[in-house]
Structure 1
Amino acid sequence: MPVSGPVHEALAALPLVDHHCHGAVTADLGADAFKSLITEGAAWPGISPFDSPVGVAVRRHCAPVLDLPRHAAPADYLARRRALGWREVNRRFLAASATEVFCVDTGYAPQPVTSPAELAVAAGAAACEVVRLEQLAEAVAAGGVKANGYASAFRTAAETAVRRAGVVAVKSVAAYRTGFALDPARPTDTEVTAAAARWLTHGGRLTDPVLVRHLLWTAVDLGLPLQLHTGFGDADVRLHRADPALLTDWLHLTAGTVPVVLLHCWPYHRQAAFLATVFEQVYLDVGLALHYTGPARCRAVLEEALEIAPFRKLLYSSDAFGVAEFHHLGALSFRQGLAALLQSRVDADELTLSDALRIASWTGRDNARRLYGPLVSEPSRPSGGRPTRKV
């Protein structure tokens, strides 16, 4: 049964800031396409993603949003989704998340998804943009730049991108490309030019360690919060190289510069919590793990993240991509998991109720407002949106 009590009521009423997510698909999905989007693995023959913790959570917690009974059969769920159409499905789940601001990573779109503005209109909320730096670097390389001009061209492209209206942060997927066991020092111009020459000769994705280091140091120079994917992801990531503790030396060198936000983190959320405890500039979330563990287990992940982390350092994100179910399920899991955690500490006299309510507000909204500034703390909704709830 869901937890009840004043902390649960406060979190249920709190408009969230989803500080890292992606767009929702703008097409009606067939069964195979939907199944592929609710797993970080694959829809293997004989093994349905519906027969997993996230699949069960979708049937339990998302089916009622589509006017279906809890635990609806997968075939009934998919049929109802098709009958409503993608616009209505997106509208229902995005509105059900009760999110007031979405910070949208626009750098990953293997299929058409909503823009930040379209996501905002569907949700009746506001949306900001997170710029993915690897995508910019690859666009610069594809544009025909010479090796000795790469560093300047990338910096110019990045500076131009972050000046776009609505941009609040930048992001790197270095965890996927090289992992974090990198030389922490800023590379020299000579090193960058030589690495660019090697890359531009062969093309493809940015995977050169020198150029990834250059990208991270350019991010520091840009002055905006830097989001870093860590931990759990799809099969493209080498998980042992995505441990944020490997960034320790780089974090020493970048102390006093920009906020560094460690995204998702599981199973390294305890390492991320340590880093947030000892480095002023480090923050964390457990975003992707929320909907993959679901309300049944997300409390355990949140408890481990909050064993030592300062309460002003944990942020909420859904990391939802593709299916709008995940925007809703991430929010629901966060609210229920954190409410159960905090209420149990109040009941055990480990927290006062006023402390618990402050922590709930900080992690669900106010930490992100403080970190990302006026575009998040004073959001304006797009034309056609609906007012968000205020508390």
Structure 2
Amino acid sequence: MAPGTGPVHEALAALPLVDHHCHGAVTADLSPEAFASLLTEGAAWPGVSPWDTPAGLAVRRHCAPLLDLPRHAPPEAYLDRRTALGHAEAGRRFLTAAGAEVFCVDTGYAPHPLTSPAELARAAGAAAFEVVRLEQLAEAVAARGVEPGEYAAVFRSAAEDAVRRPDVVAVKSVAAYRTGFALDPRRPADAEVTEAAARWLTAGGRLTDPVLVRHLLWTAVELGLPLQLHTGFGDADLRLHHADPALLTDWLRLTSGTVPVLLLHCWPYHRQAAYLSAVFEQVYLDVGLALHHTGPARCRAVLEEALEITPFRKLLYSSDAYGLAEFHHLGALCFRGALAGLLQDRVDADELTLSDALRIAAWTGRDNARRLYGPPVSEPASDPSGRPTRKV
């Protein structure tokens, strides 16, 4: 059988995906410098172009043909063609090529103007739902003004209001960025929260107080929706060794039997995340972000390591695409090819039946997310206002 062919490849190529964690796409044409900056989680340094990375090479190889360019088109030709088409048309091509039927969109990080979930859905011909970032909500509460003794109740009320919206399917925390996960796992006492709120409200700035981050995580559990947690790989604002999900072990013991906890991205701690998913009922994971940053040449290795011990009902697909619609497409392309390749090889080696492989492919690409976030639908659903209903 030729590489990249077989019934598992065919099934995954045709499977409508649920991208359970991503961001919007840019809503303006980009300068060469701005485009290059979005190719990387780092920065463009003198003499080091973000195009000369696995992600940059993957864009030239796998995205250029969608802009009617030859494979491996040089960056200058790529950007000229993208600008000639315009950001809206280029975005539409990449988003539809991703083949996702649902996008779950984190709206809490937007240093660039981005599509809303509804705009992303229209461009993709799909449905989209919102993931509420809780740190942003807490900071909005502080910015409006609140007494330290009232902070906990006001934040809880704001969070409850946010998750009541019919298009919201999950909440997210970036505690990995703000404090790391080496936190006291216990729910903080009311007096601790008031004292910490007084310090923060006086000092201002981002939410980085460990007590208030603990309070935020416990509030998330009480909201009852799936909780997404950034872990592992991220930008330079992160201390990577503090983002190891294994540091959450004691907190996961205390929150057992509550809400699903979805460990996002995970690399290079995807094996630790896999362990947690194997021993805690509520833990799930993905390897989004690592997929397009390792590119088709190496994403299979990451996915295969994540699947060494992960129960097959515990792995989900995400792209974590931000800004460049190319990454919505590349995330899906890398995921389909990597998962199909490793499953087809196991079928060929008689380690899996074909029916087992097809079931695992559907679970991972779509059905695990549907089970966690809401009942399945075959068509994008909207209420009379045009917003999607709360079904994934």
When normalised by structure 2's length, the TM-score is 0.96
User: What residue identity is the alignment partner of 1:3?
Assistant: G
What whole-Å deviation, never above 9, does each CA across 1:127-160 have from its counterpart, x for those lacking one?
0110000000000000110100000000000000
Within a 5 Å distance, the mapping from 1:332-343 to structure 2 comes to 332-343=333-344
The residue aligned with 2:29 is 28
Give me the whole-angstrom Cα distance separating, in 1, the residues matched to 2:221 and 2:377: 23
Unpaired stretches in structure 2, ≥5 consecutive residues: 387-392
User: 1:288, CA displacement in angstroms?
Assistant: 0.6
Conserved 8 A contact 1:370-1:377: no
SS at match of 1:311: coil
User: What residue identity is the alignment partner of 2:201?
Assistant: L
The residue aligned with 1:74 is 75
The residue aligned with 2:16 is 15
Conserved 8 A contact 1:2-1:336: no
Conserved 8 A contact 1:174-1:180: yes
Q: Does 1:106 align with 2:107?
A: yes
Q: Does 1:281 align with 2:282?
A: yes
User: What residue identity is the alignment partner of 1:349?
Assistant: D
Give me the whole-angstrom Cα distance separating, in 2, the residues matched to 1:228 and 1:164: 21
Which runs of at least 4 in structure 1 moved beyond 4 Å after TM superposition? 376-379
Q: Cα 1:272–1:377, aligned 2, differ >3 Å: closer, same or farther?
A: farther
The residue aligned with 1:364 is 365
> In percent, how many aligned pairs have the same letter?
81
The residue aligned with 2:185 is 184
Give me the whole-angstrom Cα distance separating, in 2, the residues matched to 1:50 and 1:144: 44
Q: Cα 1:379–1:193, aligned 2, differ >3 Å: closer, same or farther?
A: farther
User: What residue identity is the alignment partner of 1:142?
Assistant: A
Give me the whole-angstrom Cα distance separating, in 2, the residues matched to 1:62 and 1:341: 23
SS at match of 1:108: coil
Give me the whole-angstrom Cα distance separating, in 2, the residues matched to 1:377 and 1:105: 21
Unpaired stretches in structure 1, ≥5 consecutive residues: 386-391
Give me the whole-angstrom Cα distance separating, in 1, the residues matched to 2:196 and 2:50: 41
Within a 5 Å distance, the mapping from 1:54-133 to structure 2 comes to 54-133=55-134
User: What residue identity is the alignment partner of 2:105?
Assistant: V
SS at match of 1:233: coil
Q: Cα 1:188–1:379, aligned 2, differ >3 Å: closer, same or farther?
A: farther
Give me the whole-angstrom Cα distance separating, in 2, the residues matched to 1:89 and 1:146: 47
User: 1:111, CA displacement in angstroms?
Assistant: 1.2
SS at match of 1:228: strand
The residue aligned with 2:233 is 232
Give me the whole-angstrom Cα distance separating, in 2, the residues matched to 1:381 and 1:164: 15
Give me the whole-angstrom Cα distance separating, in 1, the residues matched to 2:128 and 2:315: 20
The residue aligned with 1:388 is none
User: 1:2, CA displacement in angstroms?
Assistant: 5.3
User: 1:87, CA displacement in angstroms?
Assistant: 0.5
The residue aligned with 2:45 is 44
Give me the whole-angstrom Cα distance separating, in 2, the residues matched to 1:183 and 1:244: 14
What whole-Å deviation, never above 9, does each CA across 1:330-378 have from its counterpart, x for those lacking one?
000000000111001011111111000000000000000001013x646
The residue aligned with 1:380 is 380
CA RMSD between the two structures: 1.2
Give me the whole-angstrom Cα distance separating, in 2, the residues matched to 1:52 and 1:126: 32
Give me the whole-angstrom Cα distance separating, in 2, the residues matched to 1:213 and 1:380: 36
Q: How many residues align?
A: 383
User: 1:380, CA displacement in angstroms?
Assistant: 2.4
The residue aligned with 2:269 is 268
SS at match of 2:356: helix
What whole-Å deviation, never above 9, does each CA across 1:283-338 have from its counterpart, x for those lacking one?
00000101001111110001000000000000000000000000000000000000
SS at match of 1:19: strand
Give me the whole-angstrom Cα distance separating, in 2, the residues matched to 1:117 and 1:184: 37
The residue aligned with 1:389 is none
User: 1:165, CA displacement in angstroms?
Assistant: 2.0
User: 1:163, CA displacement in angstroms?
Assistant: 0.6
SS at match of 1:263: strand
Give me the whole-angstrom Cα distance separating, in 1, the residues matched to 2:46 and 2:326: 24
